Structure 1
């Protein structure tokens, strides 16, 4: 228990930026908080704070230790909440965000809504970079490494990109056999809402990853227009595999250059680590992890 108290004193001091304010929040004296942190440093044989007469700042080791402590605290809170709410039904508003690449998940998310009718879904469907904490999101679906220390994450699955075109387009323009052939084709490109730049098509060519410099024939800032234009034979599009599998199986689209597209991207669900994992968030995280990419 003394160790848990020292961890609490350390985290509060780091958040408050001083021992006096940390003591006020904890109902202790500044001296008691300072001594608890000093004992923790002695036990770890590591200085966690730089101290001056006016302030304290975390050392590099202190910043690393703080991230781990926050995760420990979040797990403890979650364990307590799980027991306290064991018999509570998931309910209330659940605000979450997903990128345009997640639009094909709508049927599964509708199934979630039917399974938990007391949860009100408030969806933000866009590729803008939301601030999960400041904007009050309960959860977000995102690609990438999920390295934000303020967030917990769980891997949903992985996917690869596929270059696809309609059969009539390939009949008119020919099937590209190497990445170099794409310079002769009409390409349907994606423009990032965040950077304003076109997203390049990354291929593995001569055993090296290459970002192809393509000249776009069509540009869109969402997935659905790219998919629609590809189906209509306007050009080739590079899209996540889970968005085009059904079209490929039905013959509406044909995949090309598969052997040059070997990379995979991780899809995650993330939620604030500083909050209790409420029943509504817990069932949402479990549902998306088990149903979104696993059934595609």
Structure 2
């Protein structure tokens, strides 16, 4: 078991590119990780890392050994999984990456946690495209199309964008009847935190994209303030329709130009193809497929 722990420390250090980050993920000190790797090197009689004051890099022997270690740990995880299936409730840590709009799903995620209290959740919210395998995620929930042969994918559903404003705003500024009229309105624009780019509203007419120069009244990089400002009457926003179901129902927001937004965006859950589908991952995938967009 001590050797298995050393293998785990070695893989984490290789993935993290350093002992400090590996220690953080393992819940131990950087020194403990470094010593575990050193003992492994001594036992193997081979140097696994080139070390400098700033970073570590794999030696040729280390790169070769890393792939074998991954297979060993995967087999050990599979063995643990088989045993856990005989012990009852799914359990263990589940690390999941979600887009920033994933905050909309928290009620459903909370329901999952109540249903499976022995599963510890670690949630990472980001619009960047996470490397599921290299960053150690068990699963990711993502919007749009993502082609990666290393991942299994299950479609959860689709959403559309909606251009919305408050009744007070439209009473004062008028309701746009054509996309080109948006250039005369105050617009609440989303900026992607990972790229710094402004969101382009997906307007089209008979399948042809329509580009309108929008007046950027307010720029935000999270969804909730964008919706709040729209409800306050400060302008028009283009947001996922699933984020404003309640506002549309109670009338605090009104959608316009629906006929000019033709595209739908897919939401999927993905997980590593080579990863044994453990009970905790299986129940998570099944739960989000049945409930996330319900």
Question: Is TM > 0.5 for Structure 1 vs Structure 2?
Answer: yes
Equivalent residue number for residue 166 of structure 1: 166
Summarize deviations over 1:231-257 as a string: whole Å, max 9, x none: 111111101110011100011100111
Equivalent residue number for residue 56 of structure 2: none
Map 1:9-20; keep pairs closer than 5 Å. none
- Asked if 2 retains the 8 angstrom alpha-carbon contact of 1:129 and 1:194, the reply is no
Paired with 2:133 and 2:207, the residues of 1 have a C-alpha distance of: 41
Cα 1:115–1:157, aligned 2, differ >3 Å: closer, same or farther? same
Is the aligned partner of 1:184 residue 2:184?
yes
Query: Which structure 1 residue ranges, 4+ long, deviate > 6 Å from structure 2?
Result: 81-84
Following superposition, the deviation at residue 203 of structure 1 comes to: 1.1
Following superposition, the deviation at residue 195 of structure 1 comes to: 1.9
Paired with 1:189 and 1:86, the residues of 2 have a C-alpha distance of: 52
Output the TM-score relative to the length of structure 1.
Answer: 0.69
Number of aligned residues: 218
Is the aligned partner of 1:290 residue 2:290?
yes
Cα 1:241–1:82, aligned 2, differ >3 Å: closer, same or farther? farther
What's the secondary structure of 2:210's corresponding residue? strand
Paired with 1:156 and 1:83, the residues of 2 have a C-alpha distance of: 30
Map 1:90-239; keep pairs closer than 5 Å. 90-239=90-239
What's the secondary structure of 1:202's corresponding residue? coil
- Asked if 1 retains the 8 angstrom alpha-carbon contact of 2:156 and 2:288, the reply is yes
Paired with 1:213 and 1:200, the residues of 2 have a C-alpha distance of: 10
Map 1:23-62; keep pairs closer than 5 Å. none
Structure 2: state its 5+ residue gaps.
1-73
Following superposition, the deviation at residue 218 of structure 1 comes to: 0.9
Paired with 1:266 and 1:87, the residues of 2 have a C-alpha distance of: 36
Structure 1: state its 5+ residue gaps.
1-73
Map 1:229-268; keep pairs closer than 5 Å. 229-268=229-268
Summarize deviations over 1:245-273 as a string: whole Å, max 9, x none: 11000111001111111110100001111
Paired with 2:177 and 2:82, the residues of 1 have a C-alpha distance of: 55
- Asked if 1 retains the 8 angstrom alpha-carbon contact of 2:159 and 2:266, the reply is yes
CA RMSD of aligned residues (A): 2.2
Cα 1:212–1:276, aligned 2, differ >3 Å: closer, same or farther? farther
What's the secondary structure of 2:175's corresponding residue? coil
Following superposition, the deviation at residue 98 of structure 1 comes to: 0.9
